[in-house]
Amino acid sequence: MKRRRIAYAIMMGSCLTLFVLAWAVVRRFSPPAAVAMSVAAMLIPPFAAIVANWGIDRPDRDEAERDAARRDRERGGGPGGDGGGDGGEPRGGR
């Protein structure tokens, strides 16, 4: 998820940069180039949305690893665990 957010932020930042540069700087030297930069900037947001939502229906690798570790702990099969809980009391109660 973090990679998708970073990619989205970079794409949208470049879009904003293109618009600002096109109409604040480039317009003075070449209006057709400013229009071309604006058209290029208009094409970026749909692709940024696709990148941001790519694979949203599947969990991220880190999230899947956390879920697997949580399931192992719940089953008592964590690292070095024999399924005996905290090891302080025998199973079966008093």
Q: Is the pLDDT of residue 94 over 60?
A: no
Determine the length of the chain: 94
pLDDT for 78: 52
pLDDT for 2: 83
C-alpha–C-alpha distance, residues 88 and 77, integer Å: 16
pLDDT for 14: 96
Q: Which amino acid is at 34?
A: A
Q: Could you report the per-residue pLDDT of 16-47, keeping only the tens digit for each?
A: 999 999 999 999 999 999 999 999 999 999 99
Residue pair 38/22 in contact (Cβ under 8 Å)? The answer is yes
Provide the pLDDT confidence category of residue 90 given band limits of 50, 70 and 90: low
pTM: 0.58
CA 22 → CA 59, 66, 67, distances in Å? 39, 45, 47
For 68, other C-beta atoms within 10 Å of its C-beta total 10
| 8-state DSSP, 58 | S
